[in-house]
Amino acid sequence: MLPLETAREFVLDRCAARKLERVAVADALGLVTASEIVCSEDIPQFANTAMDGFAVRSADVADAPCELRVVETIAAGHAPQVTVGPGEASRIMTGATIPPGADAVVMVERTSMAKPAGTAAGGADNPETVRVEVGVPPGNHVRHAGDDLQAGAHVFGVGTELTAGHLGVLCSLGMTEVEVFGRPRVGVLSTGDELVDDGSPLQPGQIRDSNRRTLLALAHRADVDCVDLGLVRDDPDAIEAAILTGVDTCDAIVTSGGVSMGDFDYVKAVLNRIGDMRWMQVAIKPAKPLAFGTVGDVPVFGLPGNPVSSMVSFELFARPGLRSMMGHPDPIRATVGATAAEDLPRRVDGKTHFMRVLATPKNGGIEVRSAGGQGSHMLWAMANANALAVVPDSDGVRAGESVDVLLLD
Ligand code: AMP
Ligand code: MG
């Protein structure tokens, strides 16, 4: 049996990012930058106020309370027209430019209008007057130009996953497009004569195809574009046709079933003929069998058919492979430390077990308990699990002991 790390290294070596694309910032969520982003201009570009209030000369309010003549009202988005002179202030709204002459802002809550509302105010001969209650230091509530980013600054390096906040920064920089590693198109197909996917009554020996929907959903969660390549019978010609369609139209293919030792495991025979495949027995449970290789230059993940195995195999191999194709520098999900809230028993068998568990916060850490049946056909427990406990080859973990977990999406 191959150690997990060896098998995964083999996969990742063949899943390099290749497609560079310029995409609209609007479409870039979850994609990974392919070039460095450098700040073209100061953000913010101009000194502005963090508060609604009055722009003042700080020296004027040193002996507050005091009264100042209001010479202008400055709204966000409008340039100030008047210089604030000694004994003067401009009413200013959050985000508006600090007017020349002023060096600080007094928030509106620390002021009152010296003339009661309703009294004629404004105009050169009858200016409004504001009473300032507190003194403020220079720079008070002023957001200086370049506070957030300065022109020339390194903003995001190559390999940055674009999250909501990143997209906002790109918009702040005035970018409408960004260079990224393209989203791979991933085709998913199921194989098996026993499978039914149309809701019709089951004939003897039939089961329903659950893997395809699940694997498409996992691929979707991995931020790739998904293509449903359908349900294919255990027939070599049909399997070959489906895989060749996938190779023509997709950047990667995920299959489930037909990669074990059974008489009708034709996926294996077909991929051996048309691809450059490696058949692995990985020292993990579930998901020991893995077929991985390329047809042309398209990576093919031949995942095992058992529903839980196919999901765990996707998590351990396909997700990192697809993320690597998307340019993620760290495509493998990191484990976190947790405490077993109950015994997680297993037998010594030379494999690392990925047990389906429920992780919950406890005393600032995480505790885990079994999510239910651990058979590789027991999809319900997998559906209820939000984590996989990584239990090394041993007789298991006792309640209170620590255990590494993979927190699933
Ligand atoms: P196989 O690898 O084809 O021998 O399949 C292993 C087990 O997984 C068998 O019990 C299959 O019936 C089951 N299986 C294979 N494909 C699917 C699928 N798409 N949905 C649900 N179960 C499946
Ligand atoms: Mg099968």
235 in ligand 1 pocket by Cβ < 6 Å? no
289 in ligand 1 pocket by Cβ < 6 Å? no
Ligand nearest to the backbone CA of 310? 1
Ligand nearest to the backbone CA of 193? 2
258 in ligand 1 pocket by Cβ < 6 Å? yes
320 in ligand 1 pocket by Cβ < 6 Å? no
Distance from Cα 244 to the centre of ligand 1, integer Å: 22
Which pLDDT score, from 0 to 100, does residue 259 have?
85
Ligand nearest to the backbone CA of 190? 1
Ligand 1 pocket test, candidate residues 189, 239, 306, most atoms within 8 A of CB: 306
pTM for the model: 0.90
CATH class, 336-407 region: mainly beta
One CATH from 3.40.50.10420, 3.30.30.60, 3.40.640.10, 3.90.105.10 for 20-44+147-181: 3.90.105.10
Which pLDDT score, from 0 to 100, does residue 265 have?
86
Distance from Cα 331 to the centre of ligand 1, integer Å: 27
Contact between 205 and 217 (Cβ < 8 Å): no
Query: Are domains 20-44+147-181 and 336-407 of this chain identical in fold?
Result: no
Look-up: residue for tokens 């509302």?
A: 117
DSSP secondary structure letters along 258-292: --SSSTT-HHHHHHHHHSEEEEEEBSEES--EEEE
> Architecture of domain 48-143 in CATH?
Beta Complex (2.170)
Ligand 1 atom having least distance to the Cα of 256: 16
> Cα separation of 286 and 203, whole Å?
28
Which pLDDT score, from 0 to 100, does residue 254 have?
98
| Nearest CA owner, ligand 1 atom 23 | 305
Radius of gyration over alpha carbons of the chain, in Å? Answer: 31
| Nearest CA owner, ligand 1 atom 16 | 305
Ligand nearest to the backbone CA of 208? 1
Domains in the chain: boundaries: 4-18+183-325, 20-44+147-181, 48-143, 336-407
257 in ligand 1 pocket by Cβ < 6 Å? yes
302 in ligand 1 pocket by Cβ < 6 Å? no
- At residue 247, what is the residue type? V
pLDDT digit string (tens) for the chain, length 409 residues: 999 999 999 999 999 998 899 999 999 999 999 999 999 999 999 999 999 999 999 999 999 999 999 999 999 999 999 999 999 999 999 999 999 999 999 999 999 997 654 554 444 455 799 999 999 999 999 999 999 999 999 999 999 999 999 999 999 999 999 999 999 999 999 999 999 999 999 999 999 999 999 999 999 999 999 999 999 999 999 999 999 999 999 999 999 998 888 888 899 899 999 999 999 999 999 999 999 999 999 999 999 999 999 999 999 999 999 999 999 999 999 999 999 999 999 999 999 999 999 999 999 999 999 999 999 999 999 999 999 999 999 999 999 999 999 999 7
**CATH 3.40.50.1000, domain 4-18+183-325, yes or no:** no
Centroid of chain to Cα 331:
12
> Cα separation of 152 and 41, whole Å?
7
Nearest to 375, CA basis, from 356, 394, 359: 356
Locate all alpha helices (DSSP H) within 82-201, ordered by sequence.
164-172
Distance from Cα 257 to the centre of ligand 1, integer Å: 5
Query: Measured between alpha carbons, how far is residue 407 from residues 273, 291, 332, 333 in Å?
Result: 38, 25, 12, 8
Which pLDDT score, from 0 to 100, does residue 121 have?
47
Distance from Cα 307 to the centre of ligand 1, integer Å: 7
DSSP secondary structure letters along 178-229: EEEEPPPEEEEEEE-TTEE-S-PPPPTT-EE--HHHHHHHHHHHTT-EEEEE
Contact between 56 and 71 (Cβ < 8 Å): no
> Cα separation of 121 and 20, whole Å?
61
Per DSSP, what are the bridge partners of residue 72? 90
Distance from Cα 302 to the centre of ligand 1, integer Å: 12
206 in ligand 1 pocket by Cβ < 6 Å? no
260 in ligand 1 pocket by Cβ < 6 Å? yes
